[in-house]
Chains A and B, each alone.
Chain A
Amino acid sequence: MLIELDNISKVYRMGTEEVKANDGISLSIAEGEFVAIVGKSGSGKSTLMNILGALDVPTSGKYLLGGEDVGKMKDDQLAGIRNRMVGFIFQQYNLLPKSTLIENVELPLLYAGLSARKRREAAMAVLEKVGLADKWRNFPNQLSGGQQQRASIARALAGSPSIILADEPTGALDSKTGTEVLAMLKALNEEGKTIIIITHDKQIALQAKRVVRIHDGKIDFDGDVNEYAAVM
């Protein structure tokens, strides 16, 4: 298994009150899967995404990512595993505004310690793949929203991570460009990439192959997309 969550809980302290954002979540995701994690806002899906993406560690429970125990990792080790294993796609793209597209796409490779020449080659290759090779010298604000999101997909792909973790990837796009981005993610899945989409939008969840629904910090549905379509 690529991802193994075993009885994960995450507790936040709000003043004197303790809030359980994740409460005993167990989940396994194999390589090559296309999973949508759905839930309303406040359901705990963002917390789950942070844990899956090694941005945060669980309060209790065990999380194995590619066989490595993420739960016990320190800051720098988490940074390392994020760099190697996870490609993030954010709702707001999160491209660095003062860097060109190619510099943005090169970032994960820079932190992986690749030489300048190798970075440039790999970054150009993924920009080519998302159809933005001709825009490599542009700054993010010179591009449309759809183009920016494609650039951020290129950045997520640059380091050839095991998982693509997309947080509301179509949230800031109109439905046409949103559909294009989803099509791109589907195509990547066809090529064998493991893709996890976090969304509140059931229609988008239906594009995945497997759906995991979070409610009040617990998984209340986990199954094939067709089963989900039946129960939703």
Chain B
Amino acid sequence: MLQSCKLAIKSIAANKMRSFLTMLGIIIGVASVIILVSLVNAYMSYVTQSFARMGANQMTVTLRNQPSRSVTEDEMYAFLEANADVFDYISPTVSVSGSVRYQTDTMDYTGVTGVSEDYLDIKDYTIEIGRNIQYSDIVGRQKVALIGYFTATELFGTPAAAIGQQLKLGDSYFTVEGVVAAQDEDNLEAGGTDDFVWIPYSTASKMSRNANMGSYIMAAKSPDEVAAAKSALEDFLEEELKSSSLYRITAMGEMLDQLNTMIAMLSAGLGGIAGISLLVAGVGVMNIMLVSVTERTREIGIRKALGAKRGVILQQFIIEAATTSMLGGLVGIVIGGAATSAVGALSDLPATPTPMAVAVSFAVSVCIGVFFGFAPANKAAKLNPIDALRSE
């Protein structure tokens, strides 16, 4: 065995260029498997993280209330109280169109939303300075606003300077009562996570002249309870509205699951395609081994004459093929790993070589050597020593 390994390395070293070209197929195959699978996995965890930030325990509900059948905001609150075992929070969401103005400054991309006092908890944000929207603000339809970190700094310089200032939304002036802490400090930008104005939903609803709340955002107690919460909500809405076309519930967690399944399939698919290149490389190994056997017919004849049994010759050539593809695999892992890490370093993707992809592609490359080396090795092992000795 040891002897066969030595012989294999000797033989590979004796034909450096040829061995390298044979390995190249394996190198490219292994490297591409690692790069593709690792990058897809990196992208997957990136997307998963983004989704998790958006809240895996949240769901949004959109109602198309009819004059005859409708679900009011009070009924929704009652439902939440009745299902307090799975639900934590609810907030109607009313989007308000139009830009936000302060004196001569205009913020065109700032989203204005009418929300409840729970909204801050649903989003899992914290107050930087000032106070949250309160129940009394909602009941009294107060013209108060809670604004994002970017909005505050953009308009007023600092969060502290924003408190007590008057923002103009449409025709009305709103007093800034609080500023939310920055969520994504590295990406403070217009229209980003930290660019928003929240006002009491009752006030927003009055501004948009729509008494019936159509959209809600709800938070389950935990991401695990999203499914139970969703089905309770579906039962309730089906009972009230009698038609599934009149409401839509979107759970982030479910979307995340679907996305994960999709990406896992994509990863397997891409890995598989790269795997095909490994298969092609295997055929290359077989081809070169056949050439090698033919070239070394005389050597095989001498070995057999001196008492080498079939198994010994078989082993020698299989180990040679396996060593070739294993070396190719190792180089491929180094290249694939380096390329993946380089992409990780140069982009936002948390790309590191997946240990699974490395292990699998390495094992596959060795197996390919053994598998595709077998036929040529068997040909060598079965050579008739007399004919083999006679060959030039």
Binding site for B on A (CB under 8 A): 50, 53, 55-56, 75-76, 79-80, 82-84, 88, 90, 94, 96, 98, 107-108, 110-112, 155, 159
Contacts and interface: CB of A to CB of B under 8 A. Distances in A.
B307 A79 contact: yes
Given A96-B299, A110-B3, A76 B310 contact: yes
Contacts of A53: 305
A111 B300 CA distance: 13
B310 A56 contact: no
Interface of B is mostly: helix
Contacts of B310: 75-76, 79
B389 A94 contact: yes
Contact of B307 (A90, A94, A96, A108): A108
A155 B305 CA distance: 12
B309 A155 contact: no
B14 A55 contact: no
Interface of B: 3, 10-11, 14, 298-299, 301-312, 385-386, 389
B385 to A, nearest CB: 5
A28 B14 CA distance: 46
Contact of A80 (B3, B14, B309, B389): B309
A196 B385 CA distance: 20
A98 B304 contact: no
A76 B309 contact: yes
Given A55-B386, A75-B310, A84-B307, 12 more contacts: A75-B309, A76-B310, A79-B308, A79-B309, A82-B307, A94-B302, A96-B299, A98-B10, A107-B303, A108-B307, A111-B309, A111-B312
Contacts of B302: 94, 96, 107
26 contacts: A50-B386, A55-B385, A55-B386, A55-B389, A56-B386, A75-B309, A75-B310, A76-B311, A79-B304, A79-B310, A80-B307, A82-B305, A82-B306, A82-B307, A83-B306, A83-B307, A84-B307, A90-B389, A98-B10, A98-B14, A107-B302, A107-B306, A108-B306, A108-B307, A110-B3, A111-B312
A187 to B, nearest CB: 23
* Residue of A79, A88, A94, A107 most packed against chain B (CB within 10 A): A79
Nearest to B388: A55
B386 A111 contact: no
Nearest to B11: A98
Could you say which of B14, B303, B385 has the most chain A C-beta atoms within 10 Å of its C-beta? B385
A88 B305 contact: yes
Nearest to A79: B309
Contacts of B303: 107, 111
Nearest to A98: B14
Contacts of B312: 111
A84 B309 CA distance: 13
B308 A111 contact: yes
A162 B298 CA distance: 25
B107 to A, nearest CB: 79
- The DSSP consensus for interface residues of chain A is helix
A124 B284 CA distance: 41
Given A94-B302, A96-B299, A96-B302, A112 B307 contact: yes
Contacts of B305: 53, 55, 82, 88, 94
A76 B298 CA distance: 18
Contacts of A83: 306-307
A80 B305 CA distance: 10
A55 B303 CA distance: 12
A159 B386 CA distance: 21
A83 B307 CA distance: 4
A76 B14 CA distance: 29
Contacts of B307: 79-80, 82-84, 108, 111-112, 159
Nearest to B10: A98
A53 B307 CA distance: 11
B278 to A, nearest CB: 30
Nearest to B390: A46
A104 to B, nearest CB: 9
A112 B310 CA distance: 14
Contacts of A79: 304, 307-310
Contacts of B304: 79
A110 B313 CA distance: 12
Name, among A55, A88, A155, the residue most crowded by chain B CB atoms within 10 Å (CB to CB): A55
A82 B303 CA distance: 11
A111 B305 CA distance: 11
A206 B389 CA distance: 28
A148 B326 CA distance: 36
Pairs of residues from A and B, 10 with the lowest C-beta to C-beta distance, nearest first: A83-B307, A111-B307, A76-B309, A79-B309, A108-B306, A94-B302, A111-B308, A107-B306, A82-B307, A55-B385
Contact of A155 (B11, B298, B306, B385): B306
Q: Give the most central of B11, B298, B301, B302: most A CB within 10 Å.
A: B302
Nearest to B298: A94
Contacts of A84: 307
A155 B307 CA distance: 12
Nearest to B312: A111
A98 B310 CA distance: 21
Contact of A111 (B11, B14, B299, B306): B306
Contacts of B301: 94
Contacts of A110: 3
Nearest to A107: B306
Contacts of B298: 94
Contacts of B389: 55, 90, 94
A79 B312 CA distance: 11
Contacts of A88: 305-306
